[in-house]
Amino acid sequence: MTELNSHIHHILTQGFTTVHNVLKADDLKFLRATMDDIYAAYDPERDGLRLPEGYNFSANTVDKHPFFHTLFLRSPVYDIMRHFLGEDCILSSLNSLEPLKDQGNQSLHRDTGTPPGEQVYSLNSLWVVDGMDRKNGATRVLPGSHLADIPAPEDEKDVIHLEVQPGTVVIINASLLHGASANHSGRRRRVLHGYFVRKGAQQQTDQKKYLSPKTKAILPPATRRVLALDD
Ligand SMILES: O=C(O)CCC(=O)C(=O)O
């Protein structure tokens, strides 16, 4: 089985996969030096989403630096998105979320209202900047829950914590029950969320509306297409 097929298989059966070393040492250095300024500059009016309490947060992140103009097109993440959502799939949003100390204990939830089942409507990609473990708020998932229309269980005995190294991208079927866990250590846990949907679906960040003219003027054609700027 090729590496791509193995990720596809894992998403089909478990609802998620982990892709290692997508972000390289230079990328991590850049992101660690830049994310705090981006969090500080977050403005709900300009960026379009509401800041969740207890987190560092960024929305409309494509607008923040040319680094983000092509990040979400990287292989094999974009290949996996196209496999499930079609060649013409689009980016719904690029956000970043970091639970602060003793915050982040999200309920298990699905990121989409579409019913769980065989059909895949949207996938989230979690770009891990700091590494996650049980003490700093690792994302937790209930494997297989993308296939069954079940409520989030109170008992989390079958839930697993995605303990992964910096540079990993976790790809999650948006119908999978998942959530951040509490960051009891207070250690950094910066993760970028690149959410992909099928062409024609509503974007979480209406990129046409929120991208600045300065950014729009320099985006490569492939990025314009994935952001649905000319649709
Ligand atoms: O960052 C995470 O661990 C998951 C975040 C999430 O699921 C959400 O904010 O809806």
Contact 72/194 with Cβ under 8 angstroms?
yes
Ligand 1 within 6 A of CB of 182: no
* CATH number of the CATH domain containing 156: 2.60.120.620
In a domain, 76, yes or no: yes
Closest CA to ligand 1's atom 2: 180
pLDDT tens-digit readout, 118-157:
889 999 999 999 999 999 999 999 999 999 999 999 999 9
Q: Which atom of ligand 1 is nearest to the CA of 138?
A: 3
- Ligand 1 centroid–CA 31 distance in Å is 19
List 56's β-bridge partners, or say none. Answer: 98
Is the whole-model pTM more than 0.85?
Answer: yes
Closest CA to ligand 1's atom 1: 180
Ligand 1 within 6 A of CB of 178: yes
φ and ψ at residue 3, rounded to 5 degrees = -60, -40
Can you give the residue range of the structural domain that contains 42?
A: 3-226
Question: Could you give the CA distance from residue 164 to residue 139 in angstroms, rounded to a whole number?
Answer: 10
In a domain, 231, yes or no: no
Give the total number of structural domains in the chain.
Answer: 1
List 21's β-bridge partners, or say none. Answer: none
Q: Which atom of ligand 1 is nearest to the CA of 193?
A: 1
- Ligand 1 centroid–CA 29 distance in Å is 23
Where do we find the tokens 């079958």?
158
pLDDT tens-digit readout, 209-224:
999 999 999 999 999 9
Q: Which atom of ligand 1 is nearest to the CA of 126?
A: 1
Residue spans of the chain under pLDDT 50: none
pLDDT at 80: 98
pLDDT at 102: 97
Q: Measuring CA to CA, which residue among 116, 78, 49 is closest to residue 196?
A: 78
Other CB atoms within 10 A of residue 38 CB:
22
Question: Could you give the CA distance from residue 58 to residue 221 in angstroms, rounded to a whole number?
Answer: 24
